[in-house]
Amino acid sequence: MTPEQVDLIRTSFDAMWPIRRDLADLCYNRFVELAPDARSLFGGDAEKQRMKMLDMITALVASLDERPMFQSLTTLSGHKHARLGVQPSHFVAMGEALMWSFERKFGAFFTPELRDSWRTLYATAQNEMLRAAGRPSSF
């Protein structure tokens, strides 16, 4: 990622923080619309799943300048997701749900540059998690 992309992500993350629960609800609901079979992978506690998603996004943003930390987070997460039975198509659906949610919550402030920055971050994390799980990347 470029330094400009990192700055855009951090700035938007700071703006997102006050609405993080709404964003997580919107994203998770959209995700299960796109991948209804994924609902059963995470048990019945949707709130817990939403919080885990927020925790992971927070950790990824915090580790943008710390490649070893980023690698460790994505590797661990990839192993956990593989044990749960998460498929590559679920990662794709989550990426789509996340971008869709950002567009809905940020509106015109979700510029093409910001969208590309978040897509780059998500694609990098997704590829690392899939690699750690021993699965081919979707990209």
* SS3 per-residue string spanning the chain: CCHHHHHHHHHHHHHHHHHHHHHHHHHHHHHHHHCHHHHHHHCCCHHHHHHHHHHHHHHHHHCCCCHHHHHHHHHHHHHHHHHHCCCHHHHHHHHHHHHHHHHHHHHHHCCHHHHHHHHHHHHHHHHHHHHHCCCCCCC
Most confident of 42-46, 73-77, 81-85: 73-77
Model confidence pLDDT, tens digit, residues 22-63: 999 999 999 999 999 988 877 667 788 888 889 999 999 999
Cα of 42 vs its chain's centroid, Å: 16
Phi, psi of 94 (to 5 degrees): -65, -40
- What's the pLDDT band for 139 if we cut at 50, 70, 90? very low
Is the confidence at residue 76, as pLDDT, over 50? yes
Q: What is the pLDDT of residue 35?
A: 94
Is the confidence at residue 125, as pLDDT, over 80? yes
Query: Residues 80, 82, 86, 87: is their CA dihedral positive or negative?
Result: positive
Is the confidence at residue 68, as pLDDT, over 60? yes
Q: What does pTM read for this prediction?
A: 0.89
